[in-house]
Amino acid sequence: MIRTCAHCGARNRMPAARLADEGRCGACRQALAPPSEPLDVDEDTFDEVVDGARVPVLVDFWATWCGPCMAMAPAVAQTAAAMSGRAIVLKVDTERNPELAARFAVRSIPYFVVFKNGEEFAQHVGAVDFSHLQAWIETAIRS
């Protein structure tokens, strides 16, 4: 994964296993905070993060034409901010990544999957609120 330093703009390579950790910019040595927003990923990045993450990963399968998906975007972003450093939130656009959607048999969106240690932990079809998204991750953390 590439993370951009908020201080100097340098691009820093971060292994997926360390993505939820605070790092240091290689250029200016300032702190690189864990992601606090959902990460839009393709198939390669998805596999790298899900397989390598040491924290739970919440994946939001969505599309731009999907009204409920767009309505869920603020709750997904809120979850990423609230769980920063404790979980990673990914967004997979099913229109741009149909093979990834097919791999998980996504037939209706929004579709949420929580992964822990590279394995599916929980899944849900349909819109929910922030408290449900956060609860799924908390349950994965505790188990």
* Active-site residue, 69 included: yes
Q: Which residue among 8, 25, 28, 66 is the active-site one? A: 66
Active-site hit among 5, 8, 25, 69: 69
Residues 58/88, Cβ–Cβ less than 8 Å: yes
Q: In Å, what is the CA distance from 32 to each residue of 10, 14, 18, 57, 80?
A: 11, 10, 11, 19, 16
Q: Decide if 66 is catalytic.
A: yes
- Which amino acids are annotated catalytic? 66, 69
